[in-house]
Structures are given as structure tokens and as C-alpha cells.
């Protein structure tokens, strides 16, 4: 079913009465996923967003429990209203399925599971990749529907072809017939052809483990952690004390405190070993454990890296050896 | 809503000073009716309210039903706070986590335990478990070293092991650490191991100690031609969650918290430089 932007906007306004709507919002020239107050806030024609939608499933800072006189009182991080993540790109939606492997495995994380259950993902097929995007090299597609409950396919005139992909999606768009959920071939081919960046993960990447390559390529890293924080699949976290409560917060593997233990011993004290571990974690260990690369090719780590050291270059450089 | 990071309340029921910077805590859960079933070699997360949480191996064995024991060396903020705890202090416990020792594999075999410093803690639970069913195992050798005689933990237990005729116990202190009345070996653990030259066909070796000791000890086992499948080590890398999610204790694709902490040397050999970097 074809829907116009203002029709969808009216529907969002209605949904806002009972649900939280998270959508791309333009702030000082950049686009971020934020909770919106009105459909007017939505940046419909965005290309890429600075943040991914990860933070709505793995909060950057989450109070786990607080101390009481005789023990520990758990704190819920799940908002009362159910959530719709609106206009998520295929790369970001797919990243959730990849993070599920960690958080919904043999020891499911209650908060993550509840936030996943709580959310409906309405995706936006991608016709605006930039020079950093490489989703097609890592198993994704700009027209992919993995991880989505519904997808909007831009038809070029401010209208969208709406496809339903799950019962949750149907609940948001009850008027859309659910008989056709395929993205038209024409869109897929055009969108995939627009992806200009490609990476090749060498089959024998493990052979490069001891290479000096890792020292060379990690030299310029500032250990700022931006790559991890913006990465939709980076899931590493820290657990820290904050006053009367214990808090889980995002952490990043390039930090020089990431693996340091009390008394100062650090098995990955050198920057190169942390850089290497990051690449192997995503492209070797994760596939070995879960059958999927822990990278969706969103390009954020290159787009925002202050020293232009994105993961695509790091991986392609291994192959050149 | 509950979350798996909220610990169970426990109380300190006993404090045993081991050395100048190690003490053993005896802990009892407040909800003692809920089981805390663990295997030797597993670990727990111990919380001190308003200070933090850290990882400790369980130094007691499943048969010790009255208390859960952890031996804690004072090295950082959390361990400092643990050393300040009094009897009946409130602590938090999460776990048990990790795989533990493969008890079925060990049955019927000769066992060689190699420990250094506080690294005897995880071996102690295992040794206790083995001694409870002594007849199920072959010859037992315990090689334990510390910097000085005063740095040895579980001194009473070492005496008991030394007094048994069905356990061979070799104690050593680092060169320069010996006192005038020290009668046993002087030398670093890997060197003493090389000197005792155990036969590679004998059984299973279990190694735990500081990273440098583990690394050098494993190298000696290579020299002695041991099969890397028959050497177990129990590792401790920085960890937060204990369940394979926080992402920092990996040994290649394996997580110390989830796939370990007990590994065969064969499992970790490829990543020695990465994890036992010295």
C-alpha cells in the first residue's frame, strides 16, 4: 500500500498518544535517533544518522539496582509506554538480530529482552548510502528487512510503499494488506548498486594474527571510543558503582582501562593488541561463535573517526598482506 | 523487574588471615534455602555495597556446605574494601559462573597440581574435592610456590597435605625469599617443575598462578613433552558480567567467564601472546 508522508505523520500523531516514537531528528545539521514529540520533528529524508538505534535496547547508562538497608533492590529500565522505532535503516535493524545472539542466548539479559519485546521496528529502505556504507559486503542490503516489523520503501515523491513483516508491524499499520512483504526487485537492484564501498574478509584472517600490521594501523588511534559507541553491534559494557546504586554503562575496547586489572596488570596493555582484538572479535570470533559477522557495514566508525581509521580500511588492509 | 546483576545478600561468617595481604572469607547466603550449587573451579562475583564488585574463584569445595569461601588478595579498591569487612558485614554474591574442572575426565588419573601464590585458591577447592574421594584418583602431586614462606596461603592445609602419605607435596619459595629455617625447595615454580621432571604419560596437570608463572610453567610442560590436551589451567582476565556479554575476558573466540575459566593448554595455545602477555 502506498502512503504519503502526511498520512503517515497523522498516524504517528495518533500513536504518540499511547506509544513512544523514536525517529530520526535533525539537530544542528546532523541526524540523531531521538524520542519525538510530534511528527513535525521527523527528518524523513535523512541519509545516515550519527547514533544507531542500539541505545534503545542497550541503554548507555542503566541503573541495575540500588542499595537498601538490608540488601539490593533491582531497578527497571523498561519504560511504561511501548516504543516504535520509526525509519530505522536496514543496517541498524539487522544489527539488533546480531546483538540478540549475545543478549538473548543461554543467559538472556532481562532488560534487553524486555526492550526488544517492547519495541516495534518500522524500517526505511535505504536509497541514500554515502561513501562509507558497505552493508552488502557483510551480508546486508540497503533493501534488507531483517530485524524489522514493517518497512517503508521510498517511491520518490514523498510517498512510501508500506510492507508488513510481522504481527507487531500489522498492529501499527492495520489497514495495510499483509499479503505482499517483498521489496520490489527494481528497488533492490538500484539500491545495492549504489553501495560503492566493499570489504573482503580474508578466509585465513587468523594467519595475520601475529603480523606487525596491527602495530602499524593502530598507531594513530586516539582511543576515543567513538567507533564503539556509534557502532550498532558493539555491545561491551562496564559495571560501576554510582553512589547508592550500581550502573551498567557502555564501554569501549580501545580504552586503556578496558582489560586492566587491580594492581595494574593488563594483558592487552598495548594499543595494537586492542585494535587487533576489535577486528578479530567482529570478523573472526563472532562468526565462529554465532555464524554472523558483528558488523553491518553502516560506516559510522569511518564516517566519524577523528583519524580516519574505520573498520573497513582495517579489514581491507589485512587482505593486502 | 529483576535483572541478573542484582546480587544475593550474604554475610561474612568468618575471616581467616592467610598472609600479610591475603585473607579468606567464609560467606553465608541470607536466602540459604535457595541452592548455590557449584563445581570446583567455578567463580563468583562478590560485591561490597557502595564500593563495587570483583571476580573471585570459589576456594571451597561443593562438599563444604556450611560456607562459601573466597580468598582475597588486597590489590585494588574492591579488595581493599573486602579486607575492611567485619564479621556479619553485608556483601552481595552473583554466580556461580564458569565451567569448573572436568571432574569426570580427572577420575582415575594421576594428577599434578601446580600453583603459585594466591593461585592455589582454585586448586584448593579441586584438591579438597579429590581428597574427599581419594580412591577415585591415581597418584597426587602438589607443587606450590610463593615469594616467601610467609606468602604461602592455606598453611594449615599445606601441613595436612604434607602429612599424608598418599599425596606428594613439594613446596618452594622464590630465590631470595627463603628464611633460615626454610627446609623445602628454593626456586621459581617453573624451574622446580623442570627439576622434578614429571613423566608426560602420567595424567593431568592443573596449573594456576600469576600470568607469568602460568606462561613459563606451560613452556616447561612443552619441554617435558606433555600433551597440551592433558594440561589444564584456570585463567582470570578482567571481567564484569561473568556470563559472556560484557566482552572483555575473551581468549580468541572463547570467554574466560563462560567457556572457562578452566581451559586445556591446547585451547589457549594459539592466543598465549594475547592473553598471557608478559
Does residue A222 sit in the same domain as residue A147?
A: no
pLDDT above 90 for B202: no
Q: Is residue A198 part of a domain?
A: no
8 Å CB contact of A239 and B277: no
Band the pLDDT of B199: cuts 50, 70, 90.
confident
Q: Are B228 and B264 in contact (CB under 8 A)?
A: yes
Measure CB to CB from residue B274 to each of A76, A260, A273 and give the nearest one. A273
How confident is the model over A12-27, as a mean pLDDT?
A: 97
Which set of grid coordinates corresponds to residue B210?
Answer: 600469576
Band the pLDDT of B171: cuts 50, 70, 90.
very high
Band the pLDDT of A25: cuts 50, 70, 90.
very high
Measure CB to CB from residue B237 to each of A72, A114, A259 and give the nearest one. A259
Which pLDDT tens digit goes with each residue over B102-135?
999 999 999 999 999 999 999 999 999 999 999 9
Looking at chain B, which residues constitute the CATH 3.40.50.80 domain(s)? 103-275
Collapsing DSSP to helix, strand or coil, B217 comes out as helix
Q: Are A298 and A147 in contact (CB under 8 A)?
A: no
Does residue A270 sit in the same domain as residue A173?
A: no
Which set of grid coordinates corresponds to residue B232?
Answer: 589444564
8 Å CB contact of B273 and A210: yes
- Cβ burial, residue A35 (10 Å; 0-12/13-18/19+): middle
Residue A320: predicted pLDDT: 59
Which residue, among B241, B78, B83, B44, has the nearest Cα to A241 in the 3D structure? Answer: B78
Q: Is residue A244 part of a domain?
A: yes
Which set of grid coordinates corresponds to residue A26?
Answer: 535533525
Does residue A179 sit in the same domain as residue A212?
A: no
How far apart CA A97 and CA A55 sit, in angstroms, is: 14
Q: Final residue of a domain: which of A140, A161, A193? A: A193
Q: Are A276 and B266 in contact (CB under 8 A)?
A: no
By C-alpha distance, the chain A residue nearest B2 is A74
Residue B200: predicted pLDDT: 83
Does residue A46 sit in the same domain as residue A132?
A: yes
Q: How many Å lie between the alpha carbon of B10 and the closest alpha carbon of chain A? A: 9
8 Å CB contact of A261 and B49: no
User: Considering chain A, what is the average pLDDT of its residues?
Assistant: 95
pLDDT above 70 for A5: yes
Does residue A151 sit in the same domain as residue A220?
A: no
Does residue A230 sit in the same domain as residue A182?
A: no
The torsion of the CA quartet B85, B86, B89, B94, rounded to 10 degrees, works out to: 50
How confident is the model over B70-75, as a mean pLDDT?
A: 96
Measure CB to CB from residue A65 to each of B5, B78, B277 and give the nearest one. B5
Measure CB to CB from residue A110 to each of B2, B241, B253 and give the nearest one. B2
User: Considering chain B, what is the average pLDDT of its residues?
Assistant: 95
Does residue A111 sit in the same domain as residue A251?
A: no
Measure CB to CB from residue A236 to each of B237, B246, B273 and give the nearest one. B246
Interface probe, candidates A118, A246, A266, chain B, greatest B C-beta count within 10 A? A246
Residue B135: predicted pLDDT: 97
Q: Please state which CATH number belongs to domain B103-275.
A: 3.40.50.80
CA geometry: angle B59, B62, B67, nearest 5 deg: 65
Which residue, among A107, A54, A92, A114, has the nearest Cα to A298 in the 3D structure? Answer: A92
Band the pLDDT of B220: cuts 50, 70, 90.
very high
Q: How many Å lie between the alpha carbon of A190 and the closest alpha carbon of chain B? A: 37
pLDDT above 90 for A168: yes
Contacts of B3 in chain A (CB under 8 A): 64-65, 74, 109-111
Q: Final residue of a domain: which of A143, A171, A193? A: A193
Does residue A78 sit in the same domain as residue A120?
A: yes
What ipTM did this prediction achieve?
0.92
How far apart CA B221 and CA B200 sit, in angstroms, is: 8
pLDDT above 90 for A217: yes
Band the pLDDT of A319: cuts 50, 70, 90.
low
Does residue A103 sit in the same domain as residue A34?
A: yes
Residues present in chain B in total: 278
pLDDT above 90 for A178: no
Q: Is residue A199 part of a domain?
A: no
How confident is the model over A230-251, as a mean pLDDT?
A: 97
Q: Is residue A14 part of a domain?
A: yes
Residue A263: predicted pLDDT: 84
pLDDT above 70 for A321: no
| DSSP per-residue codes, A175-219 | TS-TT--PPPHHHHHHHHHT--------TTGGGGTT-THHHHHHT
Counting residues of chain A whose pLDDT is more than 70, the rounded percentage is 99
Which pLDDT tens digit goes with each residue over A120-164?
999 999 999 999 999 999 999 999 999 999 999 999 889 999 999
8 Å CB contact of B244 and A102: yes
Segments forming the whole domain that contains residue A298: 205-319
Which pLDDT tens digit goes with each residue over A99-110?
999 999 999 999
Preceding amide of B261 cis, omega within 30? yes
Band the pLDDT of A33: cuts 50, 70, 90.
very high
Counting residues of chain A whose pLDDT is more than 90, the rounded percentage is 91
Q: Is residue A220 part of a domain?
A: yes
Q: How far apart are the first and last CA of chain A?
A: 50
Band the pLDDT of A265: cuts 50, 70, 90.
confident
Cβ atoms within 10 Å of A233's Cβ, excluding its own:
26
Going by the DSSP 8-state scheme, the letter that residue A110 receives in this structure is H
Does residue A171 sit in the same domain as residue A65?
A: yes
Counting residues of chain B whose pLDDT is more than 90, the rounded percentage is 90
Total tally of structural domains belonging to chain A: 2
Q: Are B92 and B53 in contact (CB under 8 A)?
A: yes
Which pLDDT tens digit goes with each residue over B225-270?
999 999 999 998 999 999 999 999 999 999 999 999 999 999 999 9
Chain B stretch 153-212, residues whose beta carbon is closer than 8 A to a beta carbon of chain A: 211
Q: Is residue A47 part of a domain?
A: yes
Residues present in chain A in total: 321
Q: Are B232 and B205 in contact (CB under 8 A)?
A: yes
Contacts of A246 in chain B (CB under 8 A): 5, 47, 52-53
| DSSP per-residue codes, B20-43 | SSEEEEEEEESSTTS-----TT-E
Residue B64: predicted pLDDT: 84
Which pLDDT tens digit goes with each residue over B136-148?
999 999 999 999 9
8 Å CB contact of A64 and B3: yes
Q: Are A258 and A271 in contact (CB under 8 A)?
A: no
Q: What is the CA radius of gyration of chain B?
A: 18
Q: How many Å lie between the alpha carbon of B275 and the closest alpha carbon of chain A? A: 5
Chain B stretch 207-246, residues whose beta carbon is closer than 8 A to a beta carbon of chain A: 211, 237-238, 240-241, 243-246
What is the CATH superfamily name and number for domain B8-97?
Translation factors (2.40.30.10)
Does residue A185 sit in the same domain as residue A215?
A: no
Any alpha helices (H) in A70-140, and if so which ranges? 90-103, 110-118
Looking at chain B, which residues constitute the CATH 2.40.30.10 domain(s)? 8-97
pLDDT above 60 for A291: yes
Does residue A42 sit in the same domain as residue A148?
A: yes
Q: Is residue A78 part of a domain?
A: yes
Q: Are A165 and A181 in contact (CB under 8 A)?
A: yes
Collapsing DSSP to helix, strand or coil, A239 comes out as strand
8 Å CB contact of A72 and B9: yes
Amino acid at each position: 500500500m502506498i502512503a504519503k508522508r502526511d498520512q503517515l505523520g497523522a498516524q504517528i500523531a495518533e500513536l504518540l498518544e499511547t506509544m513512544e516514537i523514536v525517529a530520526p531528528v535533525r539537530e544542528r545539521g546532523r541526524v540523531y535517533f531521538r524520542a519525538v514529540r510530534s511528527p513535525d520533528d521527523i527528518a524523513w529524508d535523512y541519509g545516515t544518522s550519527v547514533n544507531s538505534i542500539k541505545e534503545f535496547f542497550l541503554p548507555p547508562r542503566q541503573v541495575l539496582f540500588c542499595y537498601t538497608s538490608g540488601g539490593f533492590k533491582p531497578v527497571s529500565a523498561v519504560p511504561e509506554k511501548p516504543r516504535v522505532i520509526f525509519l530505522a535503516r536496514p543496517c541498524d535493524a539487522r544489527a539488533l538480530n546480531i546483538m540478540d545472539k549475545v543478549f538473548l542466548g543461554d543467559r538472556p539479559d532481562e532488560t534487553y529482552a524486555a526492550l526488544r519485546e517492547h519495541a516495534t521496528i518500522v524500517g526505511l529502505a535505504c536509497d541514500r548510502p554515502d561513501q562509507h556504507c558497505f552493508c552488502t559486503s557483510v551480508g546486508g542490503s540497503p533493501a534488507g528487512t531483517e530485524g524489522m516489523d514493517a518497512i517503508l520503501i521510498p517511491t520518490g515523491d514523498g510517498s512510501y510503499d508500506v510492507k508488513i513483516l510481522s504481527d507487531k508491524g500489522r498492529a501499527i499499520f492495520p489497514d495495510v494488506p499483509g499479503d505482499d512483504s517483498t521489496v520490489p526487485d527494481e528497488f533492490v537492484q538500484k539500491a545495492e548498486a549504489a553501495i560503492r564501498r566493499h570489504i573482503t574478509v580474508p578466509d585465513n584472517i587468523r594467519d595475520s594474527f601475529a603480523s606487525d600490521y596491527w602495530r602499524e594501523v593502530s598507531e594513530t588511534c586516539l582511543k576515543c571510543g567513538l567507533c564503539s559507541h556509534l557502532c550498532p553491534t558493539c555491545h561491551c559494557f562496564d559495571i560501576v558503582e554510582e553512589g547508592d546504586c550500581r550502573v551498567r554503562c557502555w564501554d569501549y575496547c580501545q580504552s586503556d582501562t578496558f582489560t586492566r586489572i587491580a594492581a595494574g596488570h593488563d594483558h592487552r596493555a598495548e594499543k595494537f593488541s586492542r585494535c587487533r582484538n576489535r577486528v578479530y572479535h567482529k570478523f573472526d570470533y563472532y562468526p565462529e561463535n554465532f555464524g554472523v559477522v558483528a558488523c553491518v557495514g553502516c560506516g559510522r566508525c569511518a564516517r566519524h573517526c577523528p583519524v580516519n581509521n574505520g573498520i573497513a580500511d582495517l579489514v581491507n588492509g589485512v587482505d593486502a598482506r | 523487574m529483576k535483572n541478573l546483576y542484582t546480587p544475593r545478600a550474604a554475610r561474612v561468617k568468618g575471616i581467616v588471615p592467610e598472609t600479610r595481604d591475603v585473607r579468606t572469607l567464609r560467606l553465608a547466603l541470607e536466602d540459604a534455602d535457595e541452592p548455590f550449587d557449584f563445581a570446583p573451579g567455578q567463580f563468583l562475583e562478590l560485591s561490597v555495597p557502595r564500593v563495587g564488585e570483583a571476580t573471585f574463584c570459589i576456594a571451597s569445595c561443593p562438599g563444604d556446605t556450611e560456607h562459601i569461601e573466597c580468598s582475597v588478595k588486597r590489590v585494588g579498591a574492591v579488595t581493599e574494601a573486602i579486607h575492611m569487612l567485619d564479621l556479619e558485614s553485608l556483601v552481595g554474591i552473583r554466580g556461580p559462573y564458569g565451567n569448573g574442572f572436568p571432574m569426570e575426565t580427572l577420575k582415575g588419573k594421576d594428577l599434578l597440581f601446580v600453583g603459585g601464590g594466591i593461585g592455589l585458591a582454585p586448586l584448593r577447592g579441586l584438591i579438597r574435592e579429590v581428597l574427599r574421594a581419594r580412591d577415585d584418583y591415581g597418584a597426587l602431586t602438589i607443587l606450590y610456590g610463593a615469594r616467601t614462606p610467609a606468602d604461602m596461603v592455606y598453611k594449615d592445609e599445606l601441613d595436612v597435605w604434607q602429612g599424608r602419605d598418599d599425596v606428594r607435596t613439594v613446596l618452594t619459595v622464590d630465590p631470595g625469599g627463603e628464611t633460615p629455617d626454610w627446609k623445602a625447595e628454593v626456586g621459581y615454580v617453573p624451574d622446580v617443575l623442570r627439576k622434578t621432571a614429571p613423566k608426560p604419560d602420567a595424567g593431568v596437570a592443573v596449573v594456576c598462578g600469576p600470568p607469568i608463572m602460568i606462561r613459563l610453567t606451560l613452556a616447561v610442560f612443552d619441554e617435558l613433552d606433555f600433551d597440551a590436551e592433558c594440561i589444564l589451567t584456570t585463567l582470570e582476565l578482567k571481567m564484569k558480567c561473568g556470563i559472556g556479554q560484557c566482552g572483555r575476558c575473551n581468549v580468541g573466540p572463547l570467554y574466560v567467564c563462560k567457556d572457562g575459566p578452566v581451559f586445556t593448554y591446547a585451547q589457549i595455545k594459539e592466543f598465549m601472546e594475547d592473553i598471557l602477555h608478559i
